[in-house]
């Protein structure tokens, strides 16, 4: 390794929070990572990290050199992107991360089309509902349901978020079909929960009314898997609130019906975004996002899974 490569390795160690995770990210042996980092400190003549058995912390010198390492990584990335603009078609490695439910089938369909069309491309896909660090984990694109707050990343809106409240016929026979939001939230619910985020509050307004009503949800079953939520809803354990993009087939095929259609959700609830870390889009990133957009369609294909959705929740 040269010094630039070791500085890039230093960035990964800091971003990942450990030598072991940096080694895993780079598909390297941990001992090799430790050795190369030690050589970097010896070459620079300064200690970059304070290390204990359980944690790492930057020294004063480490903090300043970390900032320079970021500049070097960015400049090298710019050079690579500049070279890629001279390619007649996309080629090279594309690392993608996405929330799980979008990965199957929509994102996988886009990957299948893209890789057949551009045979010199390679793709690594990571499906994970946690909020990944795009830069720290070296992803080229992330697909997310909310716009990122980090201004260093660029977000391209692909489709608006459309929500539906679902229940099974058996559930409605047992509990009745709620006519108001207050009636709905008194019933057992199936809610999405992942790390610090839990969908445990519901805000809606009755059709024709401007005032939003907000209630806590009576979450009987919580899960971080959308597939589990749909399955539990089908079993009649409760009602659930889902983004249309998580649906993989028509509601009739799922045995579910939309309820409380006479209420509307906030207009600024969110959207599906393609997020990438650089303003200078490479042909690889640009063409893949275009492929995903083609697969989704306009309006999004999943809106057809709920019959007459355009007349609901308005």
Structure-block tokens of residue 171 = 């559930």
The answer to whether the beta carbons of residues 146 and 273 sit under 8 Å apart is yes
pLDDT for 107: 95
Give 32's contacts (C-beta < 8 A, 6+ positions apart). 23
| Tokens 């042996």, residue located | 29
Q: List, for residues 211-256, the tens digit of each pLDDT value.
A: 999 999 989 999 988 889 999 999 999 999 998 988 888 998 999 9
HEC readout, 143-170:
EECCCCCCCCCEEEEEEECCEEEEEEHH
Residue whose tokens read 């890039």: 8
The CATH topology of domain 163-269 is D-Maltodextrin-Binding Protein; domain 2 (3.40.190)
Rounded CA gap, 107 and 96, in Å?
Answer: 10
Say what the pLDDT of residue 78 is: 78
Q: Which H/E stretch holds residue 97?
A: strand 92-98
| CATH for the 92-161+270-304 domain, from 1.10.10.10, 3.40.50.300, 3.40.190.10, 3.40.50.150 | 3.40.190.10
- The C-alpha atoms of residue 194 and residue 275 are separated, in whole angstroms, by 20
pLDDT tens digits, residue range 100-120?
A: 889 988 999 999 999 999 999
Instruction: Report the distance separating Cα 124 and Cα 100, nearest Å.
Output: 14
The residues pairing with 273 across neighbouring beta strands, listed in sequence order, are 144, 157
* CATH code 3.40.190.290 region(s) in the chain: 163-269
What's the CATH number for 3-84?
1.10.10.10
């Amino acid at each position: 390794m040269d010094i630039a490569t070791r500085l890039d390795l230093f960035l990964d160690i800091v971003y990942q929070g450990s030598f072991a995770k940096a080694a895993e990210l780079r598909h390297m042996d941990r001992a090799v990572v430790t050795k190369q980092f030690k050589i970097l400190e010896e070459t620079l003549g300064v200690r970059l990290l304070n290390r204990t058995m359980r944690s790492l912390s930057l020294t004063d010198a480490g903090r300043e050199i970390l900032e320079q390492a970021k500049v070097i990584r960015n400049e090298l990335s710019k050079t690579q992107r500049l070279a890629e603009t001279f390619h007649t078609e996309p080629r090279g490695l594309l690392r993608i991360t996405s929330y799980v439910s979008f990965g199957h089938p929509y994102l996988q369909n886009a990957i299948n089309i893209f890789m057949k069309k551009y045979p010199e491309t390679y793709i690594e896909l990571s499906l994970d509902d946690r909020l990944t660090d795009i830069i720290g984990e070296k992803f080229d694109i992330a697909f997310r349901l909310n716009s990122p707050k980090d201004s260093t990343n660029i977000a391209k809106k692909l489709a608006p978020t459309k929500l539906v409240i679902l229940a099974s016929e058996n559930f409605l026979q047992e509990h009745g079909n709620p006519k108001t939001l207050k009636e709905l939230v008194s019933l057992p619910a199936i809610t999405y929960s992942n790390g610090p985020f839990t969908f445990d509050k519901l805000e809606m307004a009755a059709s024709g009314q401007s005032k939003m009503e907000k209630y806590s949800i009576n979450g009987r079953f919580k899960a971080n898997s959308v597939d589990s939520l749909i399955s539990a809803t089908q079993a009649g354990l409760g009602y659930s609130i889902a983004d249309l993009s998580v649906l993989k087939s028509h509601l009739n095929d799922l045995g579910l019906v939309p309820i409380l259609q006479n209420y509307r959700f906030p207009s600024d609830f969110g959207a599906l975004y393609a997020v990438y870390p650089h303003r200078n889009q490479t042909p690889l990133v640009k063409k893949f996002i275009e492929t995903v957009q083609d697969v989704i369609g306009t309006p999004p294909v999943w809106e057809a899974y709920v019959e007459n959705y355009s007349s609901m929740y308005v």
